[in-house]
Amino acid sequence: MRTFCSCYESNNAANRAEWQPYQPVPDCAIILCMPHNIPSVPFFRDSPSTDQIQEFALRVVVELPDWEFHVIGTATLIGAHLAVTAKHVLDYAAAKFGGKRTQRGIEVDGYSLRLYQVLPGPIYRIWNVFCAWITSSDIAILHLGLDRASGEETKIEWRSPLIRLVPPPTGQKVLAFGYRESKIEVTESADGVHHIVLNDVPTTSAGHVGTIFPERRDSSMLTFPCFEVYARFPHGMSGGLVIDENGALCGLVSDGFQFDDPNAVPLSYAVTLWPMLQTNISADRGDAYPRGVTYPVIDLVRDKILHAVGLDELDPSLFPNHTSPKP
């Protein structure tokens, strides 16, 4: 059985991956900015399958028995064995495919949650989601282990995106990336071998930052820190990365509105990233740290395991109980 709650845990026997503890990004790893030449005019377009941003943008897939698959959103890698997606993507999975409320959260059984990564080559990696911690915002933090991959890879070279914890200023250009119209088809050959075919449209959408909501936009829908983006965020891109003019990860795709007027300026929302620093997680951080302990994500930033800018712009009272002992 798997538990989805403030911690979503995966204990399903169908999960074949061997447990892999979180490992800090080594000194030789590349801390990557993802610069794009963002034009002044907003655009919405299909992206080539070779776009390097797809190293960080993964499909969120529900795997059911009898070779049934559903793509439900996009996730973003932020470090070794860690990714983030929109919390509502996981809420949808629990509502659509079953879940039972308990004191710990929502228990689900009978399916697995995977992240599909396609790299140049092509190289296919399928990551198992062992656990997901739910934040106070529209963000879920995912703990990953490699389930299977194409070819024989001896070592994974982790590259960590630079994280911008606060929104870009109003008027600055941003770019969002995710997948739409996703579908997985399975065929079976005469000898009983199953072939999985993934079809989707990698999508880039760019526009300007509008109003910034430091606490919430409203008390019913967007009840968390977020910011407007005058760009189109269609269904399927939820949880996808939003990057600023300097190529730093500055938000996740959270919501988008469709207008009947084709000439209307598109309006969408990205979730601000700093609230995830308040979330307690329990992913092991390597041999230099104690194992099996719970700690806030801000410790990963303080210890330079995750690489972020903007921490000095936040009110220290947001982290009243924070301590970050060095190993």
- Residue 72 CA to residue 58 CA, distance in Å, equals 11
Element containing residue 97 per DSSP (H, E): helix 87-97
Residue 201 has pLDDT above 80, yes or no: yes
The pLDDT value recorded for residue 5 is 35
How many distinct helices (H) and strands (E) make up the chain?
Answer: 2, 23
- Taking residues 120-128, what's their average pLDDT? 87
pTM for the model stands at 0.86
**What token pair was written down for 44?**
């919405």
**Percentage of residues in the chain having pLDDT higher than 90:** 46
The pLDDT value recorded for residue 236 is 85
Residue 57 has pLDDT above 80, yes or no: yes
- Residue 242 CA to residue 252 CA, distance in Å, equals 5
The pLDDT value recorded for residue 301 is 92
- Taking residues 155-166, what's their average pLDDT? 89
Residue 319 has pLDDT above 70, yes or no: yes
Q: Which residues contact 26 (CB under 8 A, 6 or more apart)?
A: 158
DSSP string, 273-290: SGGGGG-EE-----TTS-
Maximum CA extent, the chain: 63
Beta bridge partners of 197: 185
**Percentage of residues in the chain having pLDDT higher than 70:** 83
Rg (CA), the chain: 19
The pLDDT value recorded for residue 244 is 94
The pLDDT value recorded for residue 117 is 92
The pLDDT value recorded for residue 196 is 85
Higher-pLDDT residue of 152, 318: 318
Helix/strand/coil for 50: coil
Beta bridge partners of 62: 70, 113
- Taking residues 219-227, what's their average pLDDT? 90
Domain boundaries, the chain: 2-275
Helix/strand/coil for 158: coil
Residue 260 has pLDDT above 90, yes or no: no
DSSP assigned state of 54 = G
The pLDDT tens digits of the residues spanning 304-317 come to 899 999 999 998 88
- Residue 23 CA to residue 128 CA, distance in Å, equals 16
- Taking residues 191-209, what's their average pLDDT? 90
Check: CB of residue 106 under 8 Å from CB of residue 99.
yes
Residue 26 has pLDDT above 80, yes or no: no
- Residue 257 CA to residue 209 CA, distance in Å, equals 15
DSSP assigned state of 307 = -
- Taking residues 278-302, what's their average pLDDT? 89
The pLDDT value recorded for residue 177 is 95
The pLDDT value recorded for residue 3 is 32
Burial label, 286 (beta-carbon count in 10 A; 0-12, 13-18, 19+):
middle
Mean of the per-residue pLDDT values for the chain? 83
The pLDDT tens digits of the residues spanning 137-147 come to 999 999 999 99
Confidence of residue 231 (pLDDT cuts 50, 70, 90): very high
- Please report, for residues 171, 175, 255, 266, the alpha-carbon distance to residue 263 in angstroms, rounded to integers and kept in the order given: 20, 20, 20, 9
Residue 106 has pLDDT above 70, yes or no: no
- Taking residues 80-100, what's their average pLDDT? 89
* Closest alpha carbon to 224 in 134, 92, 306: 134
Domain 2-275, second-level architecture:
Beta Barrel (2.40)
Residue 17 has pLDDT above 80, yes or no: no
Check: CB of residue 176 under 8 Å from CB of residue 270.
yes
Residue 35 has pLDDT above 90, yes or no: no
Confidence of residue 275 (pLDDT cuts 50, 70, 90): very high
Confidence of residue 273 (pLDDT cuts 50, 70, 90): very high
Check: CB of residue 229 under 8 Å from CB of residue 207.
yes
Residue 150: CB atoms within 10 A of its CB come to: 13
- Taking residues 218-245, what's their average pLDDT? 92
The pLDDT value recorded for residue 149 is 87
Residue 10 has pLDDT above 60, yes or no: no
Element containing residue 180 per DSSP (H, E): strand 173-188
